[in-house]
Structure 1
Amino acid sequence: MIIACPACSTRYVLPDSAIGVEGRTVRCAKCRHSWFQHGPELPPREEMAPSVTPAAAPPPAPEPEDQPGSASVGPVPEPPVVPRPVIRPATRSADESFDDTASSFDHQPPFRPRRNTAKLWTIAGVSFAVLVAVLIALASWLGLPRWLPAAHATFGAGNPDLVLAFPSERQDRRTLPNGTEYFGASGTVTNVGKQPQEVPPILIVLRDAKDKVVYTWDVTPPREMLKPGESVTINEAVTDVPKSAKVAEIGWKPE
């Protein structure tokens, strides 16, 4: 049977079994209009016609006699009727044409869905922010790795003519009887140059077992200037240092 959409007049060729005798609700695949399509009409029952005696056929008319100089004229044949092709829109199967979940805007091969550039940039930005937050948290908890240039910026470059010597055997780290954590360091600063040198402040840094800085303090040398070959001894001690402090580093305080 052939059905047509009441909204856009698009026609579809369907088998009678697709609609059924009782009809069904269908939807146009082109304009998405829904309507109730009645089933095909059943053929009427054949009734017994009353018997009629056929009337006698009239005698055939006599054929005209041929006359000299005239040709016999017969019935003019009608031209053959050539059926014209019926142009119908592309038909689909019943399941495909009236699928309630199908959309006419769904992409079909070989087409590909368009990329949402804004969505991709948003995902990339969120991922980068999460990565930076994780790195900051790790650096705050574990400290900066020693191989990073920023990790060595704790101390200043200093003067090559000034030699700072704080041997590890002259560093004292212990817990006092009253439970106070104590740290002491002793060392020397020597001017190995040929000109008087100004002695800059010294920085002492304590790190824990994970190489994280847990305590720092500045040390002011007892002398501001050193002559060539002259040395000065520095003795420093502090209390209430963190219990997690394990390693001490001593260098010039950065400017």
Structure 2
Amino acid sequence: MGEAEPPTPPPLPHAARRKFVPVEEAAEQSPFEHQPPFRPRRNPTKLWTMAAVAFAVTIAALGGAAWYFGVPQWIPGVNQTFGAGPADLVRSFPPEKQDRRQLPNGTEYFGLSGTVTNTGKEVRALPEILIVLRDSNDKVVKTWPVPPPQAELAPGESVTINAAVTDVPKSAKVAEIGWKPD
């Protein structure tokens, strides 16, 4: 009779399989050489997609928090109500020329009068004036811009500005006058 062939061994699990290495290379490689403990991920697109979704959720949460709670006070320019006007233009809106009263029909009225003077030596463009009404907690309750009566002021020239508005909130306590921001 013939010799019986030895049975074929069962296939090795994936972790136990080794890559065939030629004898010449095997002599150069040490079995104790450092190898990474893991293989690199096969799908970087999935990681980038997860990162993009996490970024979008974070931005949406920050936007929602800013909408609900308001923008933090430490951010520069957040509380900038007025713009920086030319230094040569001097505003004068005295409190005795500010008038607040209730009209006979029950509407709240606020009016003011003042001057803007060009103290410089050059012709200056006259920017819009912004009037801001605040309540006792320093919260803005109404703002409105007042267009200038003329576009420019010559050196030494003054212009009178009169403004009035109705439907003033009853909570308004303080009026501030400044240049409208750009």
Q: Tell me if both proteins adopt one fold, taking TM over 0.5 as the criterion.
A: yes
Which structure 2 residues correspond to residues 1-255 of structure 1 after superposition, within 5 A?
Answer: 129=61, 136-139=67-70, 149-255=76-182
2: CA distance, partners of 1:224 / 1:244: 34
Larger radius of gyration: 1
Distance 2:164 2:65 in 1: 37
- CA offset digits 1:174-203 (Å, max 9, x no partner): 212221000011111000000111101111
Structure 1 residues 218 and 231 mapped into 2: Cα distance closer, same or farther (>3 Å)?
Answer: same
Structure 2 residue matching 1:169: 3-state secondary structure? helix
Q: Against the structure 1 CA distance between its residues 149 and 173, is the aligned structure 2 distance closer, same or farther, given a 3 Å change threshold?
A: farther
Q: Structure 2: where are the runs of 5+ without partners?
A: 1-53
Judged with a 3 Å threshold, the aligned counterparts in structure 2 of structure 1 residues 207 and 135 are, in CA distance, closer, same or farther, namely same
Q: 1:151 to 1:246 in 2, by over 3 A?
A: farther
1:185 to 1:148, Cα distance in 2 relative to 1, 3 A: farther
Matched residues in 1 for 2:68 and 2:136: separation?
A: 18
Deviation at 1:139, TM superposition (A): 3.4
- Secondary structure of the 1:153 match is coil
Structure 2 CA distance for partners of 1:163 and 1:175, relative to 1, 3 Å: same
TM-score scaled by length of structure 2: 0.60
- Higher relative contact order (Cα pairs below 8 Å, separated by 6+ residues): 2
More helix by share: 2
Amino acid of the residue matched to residue 137 of structure 1?
Y
Q: Please give the secondary structure, in 1, of the residue aligned with 2:80.
A: helix
Equivalent position amino acid for 2:139 in 1: K
| C-alpha spacing 1:238/1:197, structure 2 compared with 1 (3 Å) | same
Aligned Cα RMSD in Å?
2.7
Write the distance in 2 (CA, Å) between the matches of 1:151 and 1:214.
17
CA distance in structure 2 between the aligned counterparts of 1:185 and 1:137, rounded to whole angstroms: 34
Q: State the secondary structure of the residue aligned to 2:70.
A: helix
Moved segments of 4+, more than 2 Å: 131-140, 147-152
Query: Structure 1 length normalisation: TM-score?
Result: 0.44
AA of the residue aligned to 1:242:
P
| % identical aligned pairs | 64
Question: Separation in 2 of the partners of 1:206 and 1:195?
Answer: 32
The Cα offsets for residues 21-55 of structure 1, whole Å up to 9 and x where unpaired, read as xxxxxxxxxxxxxxxxxxxxxxxxxxxxxxxxxxx
Shift of 1:152: 4.0
> How many positions carry a matched residue from both structures?
127
Structure 1 SS opposite 2:96? helix
What amino acid sits opposite 1:139 in the alignment? G
